[in-house]
Amino acid sequence: MPNPTGAGGWTKGQSGNPNGRPKKNRALTTILETAGSSAREDVDGKRRSGKRIIARALWEIASTGRTSLPREDGGVEIKVEGAAWFDVVKWLYQHIDGPPNLRVEGAGEDGAFIVRVVGGINPEDV
């Protein structure tokens, strides 16, 4: 459709693409969504979606440092310690609360920037 104004732009409130930008097909996201939605047997014998099984396992790791995962031969217990445990906890918090807000407040005496976490946990309070 040609430009109705003839001046190189569209009239205010009109668009050259009235249907909008087409949605992108995110192949990996679609594949993961499909796989995570399918039901499978959990360690207690009940059928749950893959997403629920993963969510249960992540919370168990964060709260106890161990979890059980279903397998065809009966399941396996996983123990997570140290840096790996911290990575799971950090990942959970980033995906639930989002990353902490950072604020750059200026340069210190040595010229380095001072970065403060806003709305996060103050390490001095722990």
Report yes or no on 49 lying in a domain: yes
Name the burial class of residue 57, with classes exposed (0-12), middle (13-18) and buried (19+) by CB atoms within 10 angstroms of its CB.
buried
Mean local confidence (pLDDT), 100-106:
65
> Within a domain: residue 6?
no
Is 22 among the domain residues?
A: no
* Residue 31 belongs to some domain of the structure: no
Position 5 scores a pLDDT of 55
Residue 119: predicted pLDDT: 59
CA distance 36 to 52: 8
**Given a cut of 50, is residue 53 above it in pLDDT?**
yes
* Residue 90 forms part of a structural domain: yes
**Owning domain of residue 112:** 39-125
User: What pLDDT score was predicted for residue 54?
Assistant: 94
- Structural domain tally of the chain? 1
Lowest mean pLDDT among 5-9, 41-45, 108-112: 5-9
Q: Is there a domain that residue 108 lies in?
A: yes
Answer whether residue 29 is part of any domain.
Answer: no
Element (H, E) at 114: strand 113-118
Examine residue 118 and state whether it is found in any structural domain, yes or no.
yes
Mean pLDDT lowest among 5-9, 23-27, 34-38, 85-89: 5-9
